[in-house]
Homo-oligomer: A and B are copies of this chain.
Amino acid sequence: MANAMFQSLPGFRDFLPRDFAIRQYLHETWRGVARSHGFVEYETPLLEDTELYLKKSGGELSSQLFRFDDQGGRNVTLRPEVTASLARLAATHQRDFPKPLKWFEIGQCFRYEKPQKGRGREFFQFNVDVLGEAGVAADAELLAVAITTMLSLGFVAGDFRVRVSDRNAWSEYAARMGVMEDRLAEFLQIVDKLERERAEVLEEKLASLGLSLAGVKEFIGNPENASAMYRELYADLKARGLAEYLEWDLSIVRGLAYYTGMVFEVFDARGEMRAVAGGGRYDRLIATMSGGKVDLPATGFAMGDYVIRNLIEETPHALMAMEKWLGKNAAACEVYVVVDREEDRAEALAVVTKLRLARISVDFPLNAVKFPKQMQRAEQCKARIAVIVKAGEKELRVKILSSRSDVTILADDVVTGVRNLLDRPDESLMA
């Protein structure tokens, strides 16, 4: 803008009503899927002691932190992710809950990155975790949430793949090939960059560990190398009817150091193979974060709101599912009350209030407006019906906006009359 008006900070979104409704669609879908899987919601603070993040990640995110000294001289950080806080919470409160804890959080996170398509300086993240259960069944439960989330957003089999790997398969390979345990993290970093780094660089790095690129690629390429953990996971998801989305893929290792065992990523299979969600086991993190005081096995994943929104908007059937939800849930009102003449206003206000107290969403003109203009406003706010109030009449005229047809309801029982009309599907309203 050429003028001096205030603007939002780079990478920070203003959620105007339509953007907010799309955000609600994502959040309500996430929430609905997690709750249907028996997960309960929690939320940790947006601001935490900076040490919490440094301890967890060993500095992996530290260059991207919104970090500062507060007025009390504490060094604090706007959360870049929520797993560190969850580990803190679980270490402190786990004794109060039966195991396993099946918990989810939908929260905003902040990272100082270069804003670009698919990435801002704030984003919402759906975090799903099972704490206190070491068995593969917990990992399967997690993958069921991830897959059902994609299906609930309108995606189908060809749209996405869940690529699963096992860090233990890699540590066994490394041990078999004579890589010392203290160089395992370094080795996993190399595998993580297999698709992004030049072959010569990879070859050189692997050689320093006594390995070859061809050997590593052969290990990845052989489906016989699927671990026992994966076979169990596959059988579990097959019993659920959800195995068709799975793929064993050793090239997935996930960058972060704290993963143990199963790791996975959900990929956009049609387009640019972007990762939509990812996670895995982190059996030692809570012990590390609590100084060894609490030891809880854990497995979890996160899905951000940027990539998935782009993917929905690029996938016609997912977009249609979203638009259908928006049509039902994002209208400014269901009923528009028309004030026929100004002397009908008091009566109209009474009708408006009765409907609202029954939790029906109602709008009406705040000042004197001509009839056609009121009908236009009813359409703008996407009302399904317009109730025309005339003081003293026993019956009120109601316009069905989809068909522009008229019906009447009893003024004495306007709530029942309106509810009956709204309960009909739009098709029958049109008839």
Assess whether B71 is in contact with A68, with CB atoms less than 8 Å apart. no
Can you list 13 A-B pairs with a CB-CB distance of less than 8 A? A6-B48, A6-B88, A14-B45, A17-B40, A21-B41, A23-B43, A24-B41, A36-B361, A37-B356, A38-B381, A47-B122, A98-B377, A236-B349
**In the complex, chain B residues whose CB is within 8 Å of the CB of A356:** 36-37, 144, 148
Total copies of the chain: 2
Q: When the two chains form the complex, which single residue of B241, B350, B357, B360 contacts A353, counting CB atoms closer than 8 Å?
A: B241
A-side interface residues toward B, CB under 8 Å?
1, 3-10, 12-17, 20-21, 23-24, 32, 35-49, 51-52, 55, 66, 68-72, 74, 76, 78, 85, 88-89, 91-93, 98, 100, 102-103, 108, 110, 112, 122, 130, 133, 135, 137-138, 141, 144, 148, 151, 235-236, 239-242, 289-291, 293, 330, 332-333, 345-347, 349-350, 352-353, 355-357, 359-364, 366-367, 377, 380-381
Q: When the two chains form the complex, which single residue of B14, B24, B46, B353 contacts A242, counting CB atoms closer than 8 Å?
A: B353
Q: When the two chains form the complex, which single residue of B102, B355, B366 contacts A138, counting CB atoms closer than 8 Å?
A: B366
Assess whether A349 is in contact with B239, with CB atoms less than 8 Å apart. yes
Assess whether A363 is in contact with B241, with CB atoms less than 8 Å apart. no
Assess whether A108 is in contact with B42, with CB atoms less than 8 Å apart. no
Assess whether B148 is in contact with A291, with CB atoms less than 8 Å apart. no
Assess whether A45 is in contact with B13, with CB atoms less than 8 Å apart. yes
**In the complex, chain B residues whose CB is within 8 Å of the CB of A21:** 41
Assess whether B51 is in contact with A6, with CB atoms less than 8 Å apart. yes
Q: Kindly state the separation between the CA atoms of A360 and B91 in the bound complex, as whole angstroms.
A: 31
Q: Known contacts A9-B48, A36-B362, A38-B364; can you find 10 more A-B pairs with CB under 8 A?
A: A6-B49, A7-B92, A13-B45, A15-B44, A17-B41, A36-B359, A38-B361, A66-B71, A98-B380, A239-B350
Q: Kindly state the separation between the CA atoms of A364 and B13 in the bound complex, as whole angstroms.
A: 40
Assess whether B51 is in contact with A291, with CB atoms less than 8 Å apart. no
- A28 CB to nearest B CB, Å: 11
Q: Kindly state the separation between the CA atoms of A332 and B36 in the bound complex, as whole angstroms.
A: 9
Among A23, A93, A366: residue with most chain B CB under 10 A: A366
Assess whether B38 is in contact with A333, with CB atoms less than 8 Å apart. yes
Assess whether B40 is in contact with A3, with CB atoms less than 8 Å apart. no
Assess whether B239 is in contact with A346, with CB atoms less than 8 Å apart. yes
Q: Kindly state the separation between the CA atoms of A98 and B333 in the bound complex, as whole angstroms.
A: 14
Q: Kindly state the separation between the CA atoms of A6 and B91 in the bound complex, as whole angstroms.
A: 9
Q: When the two chains form the complex, which single residue of B1, B88, B148 contacts A357, counting CB atoms closer than 8 Å?
A: B148
Q: Kindly state the separation between the CA atoms of A290 and B17 in the bound complex, as whole angstroms.
A: 21
Q: Find the B residue at minimum CB distance from A93.
A: B16
Q: Kindly state the separation between the CA atoms of A71 and B10 in the bound complex, as whole angstroms.
A: 12
Given contacts A38-B333, A47-B9, A366-B133, contact A144 B353 (CB under 8 A): yes
Assess whether A88 is in contact with B42, with CB atoms less than 8 Å apart. no
**In the complex, chain B residues whose CB is within 8 Å of the CB of A40:** 17, 20, 330, 332
Assess whether B360 is in contact with A36, with CB atoms less than 8 Å apart. yes
